[in-house]
Structure 1
Amino acid sequence: MKKRSILIKINLVVIPVILIAMISLTVITYFSTRIKMNQQIAVEMSSKLSGNSEMIQKLLLNNARVAQTLAKTIEGS
């Protein structure tokens, strides 16, 4: 009977400690992963944005050249 009560007391102490440790590790992991993922997303989006910006600049430059060529053609006529 004494052994059983000692085991119950030990379990009443150990199980909550383990649960608290596991929950705290889970929360810490969640937030650190969330921060790292947000940083990676920001870097990737910035990279894609600069690539798209360069592409738009090239398209606008090509359109400007077409407009200039048309204007020169019309002036020459």
Structure 2
Amino acid sequence: MKKFSAIVKDGTKTVFITNQEYRTKADFIHDLRCNGYKVNPMKVKTSRTFDYIINHTNCNPWDWKLTDKEVDDITDYHPGRSM
């Protein structure tokens, strides 16, 4: 299970959904849509990547194209590597 976070729309309000455990990104998006949210798949990320985008960028459209691997390279974080 991975943790996912997203920015979704609830009518005219923007809602942050964070640190939810799901098997896949598709399962998370499906569940959000079933709960009545409008979801832009570009703004659904693993929680680690989502936190990086929110805390270290201006949240421009190109920022949302960052991948987990790119965030790991930027922050020099490598899961599984012994310290």
Shorter-chain TM-score above 0.5: no
More strand by share: 2
TM-score normalised to the size of structure 2?
0.17
Relative contact order, CA 8 A, sep 6+: which one is greater?
Answer: 2
